[in-house]
Amino acid sequence: MNLPTSLRAWEERIRDSAKKHGLVCFDTIFEMVSEEQLDEIAAYGGFPTRYPHWRHGMEFERLRKHSRWGLSRIYELVINNDPCYAYLLSSNSFTVNKLVMAHVYGHCDFFKNNAWFQHSDRKMMDRMANHAVKVRRIIDRQGVDAVETFLDRALSLENLLDYRQLGEATPPLRQFTPPQGGEDDSESTEPNFRLRSRDYMDEFINPPEWMEKKRQRHAAEVEAERKLPGGPRRDIMALFLERAPLARWEWDLLHIVHDEALYFAPQRVTKIMNEGWASYWHRRLMVDDILTDDEVVDYADTVAGTLVEGRSLNPYKLGLELLLDIEERWNKGQHGIEWERCDDYAKKSTWDTREGRGLDEMFRVRRIHNDVTFLDTYLTEDFCDRQKLFVWRRDQRTGKREKVSTDFRAVKETLLQSIVNGGAPVIEAVDLNHGNRGELLLEHRHHGKDLRPDFADATLLNIAALWRRPVVLLSQLEEKPVRWIAADGAVRMEEVIHA
Amino acid sequence: MIGPIEKDQRRFRQIVHGTIRRDLKRYVSSGDLIGGGERGAVSIPVPQIDLPHFTFGSGDGVGRGDGEGDESQPGEAGEDEGQHILEVEVGLDELAKILGEELELPDIRPRGEASITAEHQRWSGIRRVGPESLRHFKRTYREALKRQIAAGLYDPAKPVIIPVRDDRRYRSSQVRRKPESRAVIIHMMDVSGSMGTEQKEIVRIEAFWIDTWLRHQYKSIETVYIVHDAVAREVSQHDFYHLRESGGTKISSAYQLCLEVMKSRFGSGEWNIYPFHFSDGDNWSSKDTSTCVDMLRSEVLPRCNLFCYGQVRSAYGSGQFKRDLDQSLPGEERLVTSAIADREGILASIRDFLGKGR
């Protein structure tokens, strides 16, 4: 709320401009912060209050170092919340802050309207703060070390979500039934089947054979559930919330971790689009309404800075370029079956049906797509050639990147591979009673990329510690089927030899 | 007030230091840290402090633009989760603390504490005379302003202040005396033909850590480097580590030179003196050895806090000298001898040397 008056006036104009262009946003609250404050907020994932954990400290240290040495800097930070909160850097120039505000409205519109954000909790600011209070309370009771150990483990499962759920009509499970009993009990017991009766009647009201039958039926039910009737589960944290033998406080912590991971998931699967969309709109708004003559150079300089690319792909840039491509193609009618069938280069290069639906198509894209479907649908060979995209691979021996292909299919496949499932390997829980020993069986759906072995080791140990029984993971390494087994605080990997 | 992020940051640093402590042996014996010593801090690569997740192993991806893919710059992969190695800056002071805690080194009690004072100059005074270079502009202006207002020469519409001779004020220094203890480390190394590259590397690493610890203990410290084969001479730090000589070994030559240095430059009794001598234990003759022993007993040992002899095992050395020292100077408090078999032995030997707290 501490926006300088000069910017406050512009805030209104930028908001009106965004509205005029068809953006539909939450109310947006801007705050001016110093570089250090921004680093702090960024280290907390954009929220002013988070639960205490050293990971935030590490992130803060990294960010501080980066901004001190000028390696990178954060220009803005927007939080998907209603109202939307956005932070401006006080050390930015006036022009840059105007640009950032325009950019923020782009994000804000995306948060509000993109389908993958449909289940997103818009009161996350409060929720995060509540989580922080809850974790602190648990720390008071259980001690810092116990909580930290558990959080370290739980956070290790953070990316094991089911991203497909985000697009479904029913929201992903966020509420679970906590384990019964007091704070500290960890074992669930068999339910009581016995009906109330007087002593002498007991044999008739609860006949032993009947009781035995009931017990067996219950065991069978439990057994059937262990086989995961709904099919394999990807949301391992949700599964653990339902089934793992957790004490109440552990359950609470895992619940918090799951909840926050779910909140960040939509941003993970729409990063390219989201940044592209915001970049597109800050350009449009700046050029159409906001930029004054004397700010042009400053503006151009900043834009050039944010769109710089190292050797890796800049999501701002890729998303923006693709959106611009869509705009042009749908403006000129360069799509559809006729366009695709045409193989006359001269005709194609001057193709213009004056369709003029560029903006409509873009709004449609921002409504229904995520990064994977976006790239899959709109990344064309032409675009790929024009942007000179290529595939690189890290050489095993030298550790250097080598350009291996400029082929369109290879580029597209590599690109999609790197973002599918939020960029994480697909790991599914297949069996909760593996080998009839209560072990957890996980399967890595291998799509041509191996797991990083040392990380897999450590992660499995953490999972096994939560599950309290051995955990088995099936995967492939260098095209050979392998099996990881984590049990009793040790992990080993072996090749699977089929009989 | 300490905010929440500082708490998290502190906890993170604790964890990092825990990692360093756990792997101290590796860091000590690898010698990688020595390079950064001059800046007062070293950068320690701490692998994998991040939380483990399931991630992909081999790297590939899509790039953009012309040119070959191999112009990769370091640190590019930083975006990918868990792939970065964290460079943690740890001050030498802090490193010394970790070393001290890990080896359970006692703090050193400097001798002659009170008798030694160091003079510190502080520019805390103002006077009316002095060189123009030390003129205090603000004070001078203020004086001039005061005078002009008092004399009614000040015109707010045209505020021109002209200082005259009497208005000028100058900074003046004041000398303060502060008790301080000073120390000197005298490194001596045998560079005769039998000391190979590996032996010298071991000496180099050990000397670095000893320096680090003693610097942590004393505010001002000086180092003297002496190399010897059949004759001894004083060299620069660079030469000390890089010199390769060959020839016979006469240890007494080094002790003689060490004694001269102690007498001529650090003789006033204000100094805490720490001679360290590294050799492979092969002396020219037993006669020379007995000269050494005599020198140590009568002249060298009484002057220093601690005399440390480290014997690095080499393929050519007999290792006789340590045995001789131990036999001829039994129960000598100020003498410590230690055998260093290989890099792994460095930590143990540092503990031998510095474990006494002298």
Q: Which of B212, B187, B165, B200 lies closest to B24 in space, CA to CA?
A: B212
pLDDT band at A435 (very low <50, low <70, confident <90, very high): confident
Percent of all residues in chain B with a pLDDT value above 70, rounded to a whole number: 81
| B147: pLDDT strictly greater than 60 | yes
CB of B271 within 8 A of CB of B284?
no
| B93: pLDDT strictly greater than 60 | yes
Residues of A in contact with B55 (CB under 8 A): 424-425, 451-452, 455
Which residues, numbered 80 to 109 in chain B, qualify as contacts with chain A under a Cβ-Cβ cut-off of 8 Å? 82, 86
Q: Which residue has the higher pLDDT, A239 or A170?
A: A239
Q: What is the pLDDT of residue B238?
A: 78
Q: What is the pLDDT of residue A142?
A: 92
CB of A111 within 8 A of CB of A79?
no
Most confident of A124-128, B268-272, B349-353: A124-128
- Residue range A340-368: average pLDDT? 85
Contact A425 B69 (CB under 8 A): no
| B74: pLDDT strictly greater than 50 | no
Task: Determine the Cα angle at A416 with ends A410 and A419, to 5°.
Answer: 140
| A471: pLDDT strictly greater than 50 | yes
| B80: pLDDT strictly greater than 70 | no
Shared domain for A384 and A455, answered yes or no, is no
Q: Which of B356, B235, B256 lies closest to B306 in space, CA to CA?
A: B356
pLDDT band at B10 (very low <50, low <70, confident <90, very high): confident
| CA dihedral sign, ordered A128, A134, A136, A138 | negative
| B323: pLDDT strictly greater than 80 | yes
Pairing of strands B182-190, B86-91: unpaired
Shared domain for A450 and A363, answered yes or no, is no
| A442: pLDDT strictly greater than 80 | yes
* Interface residue B13 vs chain A (CB under 8 A): yes
Shared domain for A12 and A104, answered yes or no, is yes
- Residue range A176-195: average pLDDT? 60
Residues of B in contact with A159 (CB under 8 A): 53-54
Residues of B in contact with A403 (CB under 8 A): 63, 68-70
Contact B70 A56 (CB under 8 A): no
- Tell me the per-residue pLDDT of A136-153, one tens digit each, with 9 for 90 and over: 999 999 999 999 999 999
| Closest residue in chain B to residue A449, using alpha carbons only | B56
Q: What is the pLDDT of residue A190?
A: 62
Residues of B in contact with A459 (CB under 8 A): 52-54
* Interface residue A164 vs chain B (CB under 8 A): no
| A21: pLDDT strictly greater than 80 | yes
- Judge whether A415 lies within some domain: yes
Residue in B12, B64, B66 closest to A61 by CB: B12
Contact A57 B50 (CB under 8 A): no
Residues of B in contact with A158 (CB under 8 A): 51, 53
State the residue for tokens 């959080």. Answer: A151
CB of B92 within 8 A of CB of B215?
yes
- Judge whether A479 lies within some domain: yes
- Residue range B202-229: average pLDDT? 83
* Interface residue B9 vs chain A (CB under 8 A): yes
| A248: pLDDT strictly greater than 70 | yes
Q: What is the pLDDT of residue B68?
A: 43
Shared domain for A407 and A431, answered yes or no, is no
* Interface residue A403 vs chain B (CB under 8 A): yes
Question: Residue A83: is the preceding peptide bond cis (ω within 30°)?
Answer: yes
- Residue range A221-242: average pLDDT? 82
Q: Which residue has the higher pLDDT, A283 or A172?
A: A283
| A71: pLDDT strictly greater than 70 | no
- Judge whether A62 lies within some domain: yes
Q: Kindly state the DSSP code that residue A294 receives in the 8-state scheme.
A: G
Shared domain for A416 and A337, answered yes or no, is yes
Q: What is the pLDDT of residue A236?
A: 92
* Interface residue B268 vs chain A (CB under 8 A): no
pLDDT band at B70 (very low <50, low <70, confident <90, very high): very low
Contact A449 B56 (CB under 8 A): yes
- Tell me the per-residue pLDDT of B231-241, one tens digit each, with 9 for 90 and over: 888 888 777 77
Q: Kindly state the DSSP code that residue A417 receives in the 8-state scheme.
A: H
- Judge whether A260 lies within some domain: no
The burial class, CB within 10 Å (0-12 / 13-18 / 19+), for B282 is: buried
| Predicted ipTM beyond 0.85 | no
- Judge whether A87 lies within some domain: yes
Percent of all residues in chain B with a pLDDT value above 90, rounded to a whole number: 5
Which tokens go with A203? 């044999």
Which tokens go with A357? 């639906």
Number of domains in chain A: 3
- Residue range A149-166: average pLDDT? 90
How far does the CA of residue A262 sit from the closest CA of chain B (Å)? 16
| B27: pLDDT strictly greater than 90 | no
Could you count the other beta carbons within 10 Å of the beta carbon of residue A468? Answer: 13
All domains in chain B, ordered by first residue: 15-50+85-104 (no CATH), 119-177 (no CATH), 181-354 (3.40.50.410)
Shared domain for A36 and A86, answered yes or no, is yes
Shared domain for A479 and A398, answered yes or no, is no
Shared domain for A430 and A414, answered yes or no, is no
Most confident of A103-117, A296-310, B200-214, B267-281: A103-117
| A368: pLDDT strictly greater than 80 | yes
Q: What is the pLDDT of residue A253?
A: 94
Q: What is the pLDDT of residue A184?
A: 45
Q: Which residue has the higher pLDDT, B340 or B63?
A: B340
Q: Which residue has the higher pLDDT, B207 or A400?
A: B207
Count CB pairs under 8 A between chains A and B: 163
Instruction: List, in sequence order, every beta strand (DSSP E) within A186-281.
Output: none
Q: What is the pLDDT of residue A216?
A: 87
The whole-angstrom separation of Cα B251 and Cα B276 is 13
Boundary-marking domain end, from A401, A420, A439: A420
Domain with A349, as residue range(s), is 327-420
Task: Determine the Cα angle at B155 with ends B154 and B159, to 5°.
Answer: 90
- Judge whether A217 lies within some domain: no
| B82: pLDDT strictly greater than 50 | no
Could you count the other beta carbons within 10 Å of the beta carbon of residue A425? Answer: 23
Shared domain for A396 and A442, answered yes or no, is no
Shared domain for A414 and A333, answered yes or no, is yes
pLDDT band at B66 (very low <50, low <70, confident <90, very high): low
> Which DSSP helix (H) or strand (E) runs through B34?
none
Q: What is the pLDDT of residue A106?
A: 93
Contact A311 B69 (CB under 8 A): yes
State the residue for tokens 């290879």. Answer: A410
Q: What is the pLDDT of residue A308?
A: 61
How far does the CA of residue B205 sit from the closest CA of chain A (Å)? 29
- Residue range A309-332: average pLDDT? 81
Q: What is the pLDDT of residue A189?
A: 53
* Interface residue A312 vs chain B (CB under 8 A): yes
The whole-angstrom separation of Cα B99 and Cα B213 is 8
Q: What is the pLDDT of residue A153?
A: 92
* Interface residue B1 vs chain A (CB under 8 A): no
Percent of all residues in chain A with a pLDDT value above 90, rounded to a whole number: 34
Boundary-marking domain end, from A420, A449, A475: A420
- Residue range A389-397: average pLDDT? 80
- Judge whether A461 lies within some domain: yes
pLDDT band at A112 (very low <50, low <70, confident <90, very high): very high
Contact A451 B57 (CB under 8 A): yes
- Residue range A220-236: average pLDDT? 79
Which residues, numbered 244 to 303 in chain A, qualify as contacts with chain B under a Cβ-Cβ cut-off of 8 Å? none
Residues of A in contact with B57 (CB under 8 A): 449-453
Q: How far is CA A137 from the centre of its chain?
A: 27
Q: What is the pLDDT of residue A376?
A: 92
Shared domain for A374 and A415, answered yes or no, is yes
- Judge whether A140 lies within some domain: no
* Interface residue A151 vs chain B (CB under 8 A): no
Residue in B59, B61, B82 closest to A455 by CB: B82
Q: Which residue has the higher pLDDT, A74 or A409?
A: A409
Residues of B in contact with A401 (CB under 8 A): 59, 63, 69-70, 72, 76
* Interface residue A392 vs chain B (CB under 8 A): yes
Residues of B in contact with A454 (CB under 8 A): 48
Boundary-marking domain end, from A393, A420, A447: A420
Q: What is the pLDDT of residue B153?
A: 86
- Residue range B202-223: average pLDDT? 82
Q: Which of B54, B77, B57, B85 lies closest to A313 in space, CA to CA?
A: B77
Name B127's bridge partners.
Answer: B170
pLDDT band at A169 (very low <50, low <70, confident <90, very high): confident
Shared domain for A11 and A96, answered yes or no, is yes
- Tell me the per-residue pLDDT of B252-279, one tens digit each, with 9 for 90 and over: 888 888 888 888 888 766 778 888 888 8
Q: Which residue has the higher pLDDT, B105 or B114?
A: B105
Residues of A in contact with B5 (CB under 8 A): 40, 43-44, 56-57, 60
| A86: pLDDT strictly greater than 50 | yes
